[in-house]
Amino acid sequence: MIKLLVAGTVAYDSIETPFGKADNVLGGSALHFTNAASFFTDVGIVATVGNDFDMEGISFLKDRSVDMSGIEVDHGKTFRWEGKYGYDLNQAITLKTELNVIETFKPKVPEHYRNAEFLFLANIDPDLQLHVIDQVKKPLALVLDTMNFWIESKYDALMDVIRRVDMLVINEAELREITKEHNLVKGARKLIELGPVCIVVKRGEYGVFMMNRDEVFLAPAYPLEDVFDPTGAGDTFAGGFMGYLANVGEATTETVKQAIIMGTVMASFNVEDFSINRIKKLTMPEIKERYVALKECMKFGDINL
Amino acid sequence: MIKLLVAGTVAYDSIETPFGKADNVLGGSALHFTNAASFFTDVGIVATVGNDFDMEGISFLKDRSVDMSGIEVDHGKTFRWEGKYGYDLNQAITLKTELNVIETFKPKVPEHYRNAEFLFLANIDPDLQLHVIDQVKKPLALVLDTMNFWIESKYDALMDVIRRVDMLVINEAELREITKEHNLVKGARKLIELGPVCIVVKRGEYGVFMMNRDEVFLAPAYPLEDVFDPTGAGDTFAGGFMGYLANVGEATTETVKQAIIMGTVMASFNVEDFSINRIKKLTMPEIKERYVALKECMKFGDINL
């Protein structure tokens, strides 16, 4: 039985950054997510790939108790994304998107995935996200990601999804675009009024802003000297976040805060190399060490005035 | 005897934000700085104003033990700045700058200011900053601010100042421009190699990054729902920062961290109203309350995996 289910994409990426180039490397929201989450819990993936996809390339995930039976191999080519970054690594420039098998994808949740207590809807068409929700038993925590493309092209369907989820994990620009509100506190409150109990806003190199009905939590990003490739950082954050929640088995304000730090830690490793390479060879002692190091960077004393 | 000395500007600002407009209101780096710092310690100001300046407008500072004998009244008009902001309040658009009496300003540090243990060189011509340093006894902590204009027009003089100070309090874009380094860790290290022991990088609504020889400290900004006017936020931050250090009487890694939080707290109040208005009517209980509230927003537990 899996504890955590993700529905999203598995892709081949071609990426150029000021520090190098990588062609046809493993990518996609569900893959980055799973790569991170599988350190903490049993994960099942719902996604599609083409018959050109090399399953051997992700077989290492089996050793981390990932169930890949939900990856559908369809006739056609695997989803491909080509992009590049300048020195401002917060901003990806998409050079080419080939949807390929994604175009006709109709996610089917395997029977043995349907009781997963934690569900992450990675960035795919909101109609497909609704279709996934309809197939599962209501999880303990149902969490949503999306992107500007769906906000602009499928606003109503996206709103339907938002009304049905417990949390959103989105970036700052997306929050502003969905809510038409520049201020984060006001924007997050608008979303909370729609139904979700918690809004997690990713701010790239500046960290994370979280708001629920009672509290605000602020987490800076881990200070890195060498950021190599930011592709998948957001999905890796979500993987660390959801993986940690599934591990502790509950999404309280306290565990959500720890999960945000864990997501931040995982994302900081992800950007240290191209594709899924850094997280692939990561170890639990390294993860724990960085969690403590980040906590140390945020520590300060009380005042006595 | 004053504990903290600031050299900078006292000005009349005309400001337009998406939330309102204010004409010919009190401003300037030294004034915003002093308004904040005077909650914590005795401050002396070195600045110049024109004979059109209404001293009554800042007489409330005397009640907070501010020594204004270093404000020189020169023949001519007071320095004036006109600017506006869009919804991205991180970015000021300068509409007009009238240097007026600043143009011929030659800062003279009064005799009884010269033993101040803490000295802040607010954003003025680096040559004038050097001239101030030459007049004082070496302080416990000599801290510098600057701006893009001086980086571009007086790079060598600015470098001379940097080599002589203990700390820099600058914004992210300035760090990148001075060091020609996009990465903050690398940029801060370059500056530390020149002499300063500590670099405090202001990141607007995203908070503060601090680096010294041993540690990195990360402080998020206080989450505000209503940001009214960001003018002077950086100087107010510096005022809270230096005022707190002068109050505790030493600049160790620990006190610097607390001072960064105090600067963040003071800056968060500053942006809640135009000009110096919010800090003018601020109280110590409000300051203490927000310090605790910000600390609360950064708190999270250890992991147990």
Cα B64–chain centre separation? 18
The answer to whether B297 and A218 are in contact (CB under 8 A) is yes
- Residues in chain B closer than 8 A to A216 (CB atoms): 223, 297
Q: Which two tokens stand for residue B5?
A: 């000395």
Is the confidence at residue A201, as pLDDT, over 90? yes
Comparing A304 with A71, which gets the higher pLDDT? Answer: A71
Q: Across the interface, which of B186, B206, B211 has its CB nearest the CB of A206?
A: B206
DSSP 8-state class, residue A75? S
Q: Across the interface, which of A185, A219, A258 has its CB nearest the CB of B301?
A: A258
Q: Which of B41, B201, B210, B218 should we substitute to test contact with A (largest number of A Cβ atoms within 10 Å)?
A: B218
Q: How far does the CA of residue A117 sit from the closest CA of chain B (Å)?
A: 19
Burial of A182 (0-12, 13-18, 19+ CB in 10 A): middle
pLDDT for the residue B1: 84
The answer to whether A71 and A4 are in contact (CB under 8 A) is no
Widest Cα–Cα separation across chain A = 70
Is the confidence at residue B90, as pLDDT, over 80? no
Contact A217 B297 (CB under 8 A): yes
The CB-side HSE value for A42 (13 A sphere, CA atoms) comes to 11
Q: What is the pLDDT of residues B231-249, one digit of tens each?
A: 999 999 999 999 999 999 9
pLDDT for the residue A26: 98
Is the confidence at residue B89, as pLDDT, over 90? no
Q: What is the pLDDT of residues B68-78, one digit of tens each?
A: 999 999 999 99
Residues with Cβ within 8 Å of residue A280, at least 6 apart in sequence: A35, A60
Is the confidence at residue A167, as pLDDT, over 90? yes
Q: What is the pLDDT of residues B170-193, one digit of tens each?
A: 999 999 999 999 999 999 999 999
Contact B218 A217 (CB under 8 A): no
Contact B225 A186 (CB under 8 A): yes
pLDDT for the residue A225: 94
Question: Does A305 fall in a domain?
Answer: no
pLDDT for the residue A207: 97
Distances (CA, A) of B10 to A8, A298, B26, B38, B46: 56, 35, 8, 16, 9
Is the confidence at residue B305, as pLDDT, over 90? no
Q: What is the pLDDT of residues B42-76, one digit of tens each?
A: 999 999 999 999 999 999 999 999 999 999 999 99
Give the pLDDT band of residue A15 (cuts 50, 70, 90). very high
What is the pLDDT of chain B when averaged over all its residues?
96
> What mean pLDDT do residues B206-214 have?
97
Is the confidence at residue A88, as pLDDT, over 90? no
Contact B182 A247 (CB under 8 A): no
Contact B182 A87 (CB under 8 A): yes
Q: Which two tokens stand for residue A151?
A: 């906000």
pLDDT for the residue A86: 86
Question: Does B41 fall in a domain?
Answer: yes
Give the pLDDT band of residue B86 (cuts 50, 70, 90). confident
Q: Which two tokens stand for residue B18?
A: 């998406």
The amino acid sitting at A87 is Y
Q: Report the SS3 class of residue B122.
A: coil
Is the confidence at residue A92, as pLDDT, over 90? no
Question: Does B103 fall in a domain?
Answer: yes
- Residues in chain B closer than 8 A to A295 (CB atoms): 300, 302
Q: How far does the CA of residue A75 sit from the closest CA of chain B (Å)?
A: 41
CATH number at residue B44: 3.40.1190.20
Question: Does B305 fall in a domain?
Answer: no
Tell me how many domains chain B contains. Answer: 1
* Domain extent at residue B251: 4-297
Question: Does A302 fall in a domain?
Answer: no
- Residues in chain A closer than 8 A to B247 (CB atoms): 305
Give the pLDDT band of residue B92 (cuts 50, 70, 90). confident
Query: Cα separation of A114 and A117, whole Å?
Result: 9
For residues B84-115, one letter each, b for 16 or more C-beta atoms within 10 angstroms of the residue's C-beta and e for the rest, the string is ebeeebeeeeeeeeeebbbeebebebeeebee
pLDDT for the residue A89: 81
Question: Does B234 fall in a domain?
Answer: yes
Alpha helices in A165-251 (DSSP H): 172-179, 184-194, 233-248
Interface confidence, given as ipTM, is 0.94
pLDDT for the residue B36: 98
Contact B258 A301 (CB under 8 A): yes
Q: How far does the CA of residue B184 sit from the closest CA of chain A (Å)?
A: 8
Question: Does B74 fall in a domain?
Answer: yes
- Strands (E) across A141-261 are located at 141-144, 167-171, 198-202, 208-212, 216-219
Question: Does B54 fall in a domain?
Answer: yes
